[in-house]
Structure 1
């Protein structure tokens, strides 16, 4: 390394230290005026007037710059070169983005000279515009996250929320620029490639590892300051490439970022890489013949980002170290590894990652990369493709929470089975049978013989009633009914949640459990109201005729008996035939009428019992539907809604089962 280069690095370190340690008062004291000198008499580059290098002087009026002895002059974008803190001066030679322009000139001593260049005027930045399908997918993802906040935990939705935030932030920034990061392992030569693309030695290279500690950015055109601010790169690390019409025409709109090593021993370096990679529009992965198959690169970065193939360049650097046909062999093996990672390769006109081989040291293949990169930037589709790939990745992570291989829902069969279980729990069948018996009993009482009714009344009066066994039976019956209700709720919840993803299955079960609270008590009240109707059961039309016939049979018996009694006491003339015949007609006719009424009453009694059972079943089903089935159906409906939104997010458009 030459003495000039040593002085160059010393100056760079000192300038970096001065930029970081300078106070606000010092910046105000050294603020340049419109003529390019500061208030304390020093020049705009921070050097005192009497100590400025005498080799060359910058021509501020013409916008041209001439080389000076310092190889790495730096200006902080945060406002150290101007008075308004915007990175621009008030004069005609205003800075845009606070970027340092550089140009490579070969001198007799062989060192690189850094020069300053000024933008002619600020440019109007056109914000990014997403196409219709991507906007629809982002809107669907936003709806999906909103519908799922009460069902999924924040960690599950964190990635989707980050994608929405980044998409909104990127949309507000320039759509005329494409931010491309150069990433690679230690010693892969990414900084050397960065310098080769810029045409000037911007990023430090060397054998010391790690060489790159912080991201360094280089912009080929103005208007990218907001994009660079989003990356969190300070002004002292912002550069301009070699100024030439050819470079501007080929790479205009490119914002290139040199990242620290992704496998650096310093944790903060790896954190910087992960942070910036999540914000850039495209990535150039630089690998070398020794570490192109590194497991860290493939497992931590390439495989998880396989869906971002369209915004990836994979560059095999240092091919000058490979003899003969070894380059093609290594390149083929690299393609094989990328295919195993799931990265689509952009071959034969298909979309995918671009794989190239080059040597940043000799320049072999750098022109091909520059041409491919220029075409990539001119298309201005990288930001949208990057966001679309992020949406795909977020949707893939959310798939277990929404997609299922089975059709989920609550079938009519499951609903009917739940209603039947509740009806059994409240004893709908038993209530119907009791109603039928009550109707028959009422018919027997109305149409039966008086003597039989009197006997039954007397028997009921004589039977003791302690109340112990009926009370115990009632308690057992209530406990059994409660268990039946709980079992019915668990069964219908399991039926409804079968096939659902775990979060939604849990939500369905919780909705059913909430509805089951107080359900047995509500069913008991319904059973008391809807079991037997108030008042006497309805009577058929033939009932009065049967009652009159039974009364006639009783009258015949009484008349025959009185006639015989009158003959016995001598009150009437003896004549046994007629009174005996009357008594026989009454004695035989009464039970015959009662039996006939009983046969005729079976049909109406059965219908009456069925009606009572139906009312109780409907009441139980209505109570179960309001308390359990409706909340479960609401959860299932919400799941169908989010499933449809998930289908829109994935771009399928159809409902995902």
Structure 2
């Protein structure tokens, strides 16, 4: 037995169909997927079997004379004929060149008692048919479901099908609707035998042949091969044998049948999911959409609000450290606005702000994800569009909580006191002390000049008092000025801290959105691209 060698084009197309089946699972119509899977299995089995034999099936309805034609071609009375319905209940096979056909006949599920071999003594004059396996199928319109199923199965498995039609039912609607309309692209592996031509006059036969050709062309058979035959008179039998022997001699019918089956299936898949719809679809999420999603999620989880709170709280806390002490001391006699804001645990407050924002804006998170899916799936087939949306929402339940946890992790330790605040505070208290010393000097010099000890005569020197007063005022001004400058420095630092916080939060939001939204969407886009690439390869 010799296995069949496929030309590179067929092998590549079968490989492409394998990818279409794999990538189309859950996307492509289940019936098409089942047919594609069945075709792949059938192709794999047929290509492993004998390439030296061509399987030709005689198919037809009850009363078409199919079995009589089978006997006429074989030259033996092998298949029973009669008027009982159905005439043929089981498939009969006649083999020209029996060696190596066992596995092929087993694959076709032909019972051994219905296998017949044309012995060499009987093959005189039929050498051109060597390698032929001729099948007489059960009537496809049989009232027996078993026979009907067997006929359908073998029609799909045969390398070449000869449809046997009779003058009365050659245009039978059920036959054409069920079988003939499926033959588009199968011209090379389909023959129509207009049997019982002996019942017609020459003019009637010519008119009927023309009518049948026109009918077949209207149904998609571009180049129909019609052979008038008569099992009674032998008319056209040799012509039909020549057509069959030509297919047998080329040893290409099996390949042509698979190519035709692939072409028909490819057309149906392309009609279901047109190639043109894939042209505008992106293969990945572009940077602009990534940034747009990250920005939308940042807004949804309240990153700007957290930044505002952080900056305000940071500046307010600094008052306790770098503000000019005197206003702060006087402020203790007023009610403390910080207590009403409950800012004692600032870190916790900021975390609560972030958490509340995420929880409250779950709908906006969903809207941001939806917007991304809408943007990248424009122009896609509705099935793939739905798949992209499903991929985008694959982590919808976990996304808000993940964002919440990540933002809480970066809430700044706002109770931390920078080192320069401490230095500035020491400087300000030095000025406070200098101001107190100046006031004391003035008080002593003005009110107790005679009571100053000799060692501290300078304190009672009236000429020095103006200068002491001037320095005291200068210290007071310097302290106030340093307080204002310190507040400015703090506000600048708070702005920088806010920028750092928002930058870190946006980085984390972008990382979460990439992992939980963008990557699943890109996986679906890659699958979509690979599916249509395979579909283009399938079309050859």
Task: Tell me, in whole angstroms, the C-alpha distance in 2 between the residues paired with 1:519 and 1:613.
Answer: 19
Compute the TM-score of the two structures, normalised by the length of structure 1.
0.68
For residue 379 of structure 1, report the CA deviation from its aligned partner: 0.2
Q: Which residue of 1 aligns with 2:455?
A: none
Residue 437 of structure 1 aligns to a residue in which SS? helix
Q: Which residue of 1 aligns with 2:105?
A: 228
Task: Tell me, in whole angstroms, the C-alpha distance in 1 between the residues paired with 2:387 and 2:417.
Answer: 46
User: Is 1:519 matched up with 2:396?
Assistant: no
Of the three residues 18, 34, 39, the one matched with 1:163 is 39
Task: Tell me, in whole angstroms, the C-alpha distance in 2 between the residues paired with 1:573 and 1:556.
Answer: 19
Q: Which residue of 1 aligns with 2:453?
A: none
Residue 147 of structure 2 aligns to a residue in which SS? helix
For residue 423 of structure 1, report the CA deviation from its aligned partner: 1.7
User: Is 1:619 matched up with 2:496?
Assistant: no
Q: Which residue of 2 aligns with 1:369?
A: 240
Compute the TM-score of the two structures, normalised by the length of structure 2.
0.81
Of the three residues 383, 386, 394, the one matched with 2:257 is 386
Tell me: CA distance 1:462–1:241, structure 2 relative to 1, closer, same or farther (3 Å).
closer
For residue 614 of structure 1, report the CA deviation from its aligned partner: 0.5
Residue 256 of structure 1 aligns to a residue in which SS? strand
Tell me: CA distance 1:586–1:339, structure 2 relative to 1, closer, same or farther (3 Å).
farther
Bigger mean CA offset, 385-394 vs 493-502: 493-502
Residue 135 of structure 2 aligns to a residue in which SS? strand
Of the three residues 267, 289, 295, the one matched with 1:414 is 289
Task: Tell me, in whole angstroms, the C-alpha distance in 2 between the residues paired with 1:355 and 1:648.
Answer: 33
Task: Tell me, in whole angstroms, the C-alpha distance in 1 between the residues paired with 2:91 and 2:334.
Answer: 104
For residue 316 of structure 1, report the CA deviation from its aligned partner: 2.6
Q: Which residue of 2 aligns with 1:129?
A: 5
Q: Which residue of 1 aligns with 2:91?
A: 215
Give CA-to-partner distance per residue, 1:211-236, whole Å, 9 cap, x none: 22222222222223332332222233
For residue 383 of structure 1, report the CA deviation from its aligned partner: 1.0
Residue 157 of structure 2 aligns to a residue in which SS? coil
Does the CA contact (< 8 Å) of 2:306 and 2:353 recur in 1?
Answer: no
For residue 367 of structure 1, report the CA deviation from its aligned partner: 2.3
Give CA-to-partner distance per residue, 1:312-336, whole Å, 9 cap, x none: 1123333444445444443333233
Task: Tell me, in whole angstroms, the C-alpha distance in 2 between the residues paired with 1:616 and 1:179.
Answer: 70
Residue 515 of structure 1 aligns to a residue in which SS? coil
Does the CA contact (< 8 Å) of 1:401 and 1:502 recur in 2?
Answer: no
Task: Tell me, in whole angstroms, the C-alpha distance in 2 between the residues paired with 1:557 and 1:200.
Answer: 133
User: Is 1:529 matched up with 2:409?
Assistant: yes
User: Is 1:337 matched up with 2:215?
Assistant: yes
Q: Which residue of 1 aligns with 2:323?
A: 448
For residue 647 of structure 1, report the CA deviation from its aligned partner: 3.5
Does the CA contact (< 8 Å) of 2:354 and 2:404 recur in 1?
Answer: no
Q: Which residue of 2 aligns with 1:318?
A: 196
Does the CA contact (< 8 Å) of 1:199 and 1:241 recur in 2?
Answer: no
Task: Tell me, in whole angstroms, the C-alpha distance in 1 between the residues paired with 2:358 and 2:242.
Answer: 84
Alignment of 1:177-576 (within 5 A): 177-223=53-99, 224-240=101-117, 247-345=125-223, 353-399=224-270, 400=272, 405-406=277-278, 407-409=281-283, 410-441=285-316, 446-456=321-331, 459=334, 461=336, 465=340, 477-495=357-375, 499=379, 505=385, 507-532=387-412, 536=416, 554=432, 557-571=435-449, 572=460
Give CA-to-partner distance per residue, 1:560-614, whole Å, 9 cap, x none: 5334433442334667754554454344444444444545555544333212101
For residue 489 of structure 1, report the CA deviation from its aligned partner: 3.6
Tell me: CA distance 1:427–1:531, structure 2 relative to 1, closer, same or farther (3 Å).
farther
Residue 59 of structure 2 aligns to a residue in which SS? strand
Does the CA contact (< 8 Å) of 2:358 and 2:403 recur in 1?
Answer: no
Does the CA contact (< 8 Å) of 1:432 and 1:613 recur in 2?
Answer: yes
More helix by share: 2
Task: Tell me, in whole angstroms, the C-alpha distance in 1 between the residues paired with 2:370 and 2:107.
Answer: 52
Residue 163 of structure 2 aligns to a residue in which SS? strand
For residue 405 of structure 1, report the CA deviation from its aligned partner: 0.5
Does the CA contact (< 8 Å) of 2:294 and 2:509 recur in 1?
Answer: yes
Task: Tell me, in whole angstroms, the C-alpha distance in 2 between the residues paired with 1:343 and 1:153.
Answer: 26
Does the CA contact (< 8 Å) of 2:21 and 2:36 recur in 1?
Answer: yes
Bigger mean CA offset, 614-623 vs 634-643: 634-643
Q: How many correspondences in the alignment?
A: 516
For residue 267 of structure 1, report the CA deviation from its aligned partner: 2.7
Task: Tell me, in whole angstroms, the C-alpha distance in 2 between the residues paired with 1:144 and 1:277.
Answer: 25
Does the CA contact (< 8 Å) of 1:556 and 1:585 recur in 2?
Answer: no
Tell me: CA distance 1:454–1:315, structure 2 relative to 1, closer, same or farther (3 Å).
farther
Task: Tell me, in whole angstroms, the C-alpha distance in 1 between the residues paired with 2:154 and 2:434.
Answer: 112
Tell me: CA distance 1:549–1:236, structure 2 relative to 1, closer, same or farther (3 Å).
closer
Residue 192 of structure 2 aligns to a residue in which SS? strand
Give CA-to-partner distance per residue, 1:478-498, whole Å, 9 cap, x none: 531333334334444454555
Higher relative contact order (CA 8 A, sep 6+): 2
Task: Tell me, in whole angstroms, the C-alpha distance in 1 between the residues paired with 2:83 and 2:422.
Answer: 118
Q: Which residue of 2 aligns with 1:3?
A: none
Task: Tell me, in whole angstroms, the C-alpha distance in 1 between the residues paired with 2:431 and 2:31.
Answer: 87
Task: Tell me, in whole angstroms, the C-alpha distance in 2 between the residues paired with 1:140 and 1:208.
Answer: 47
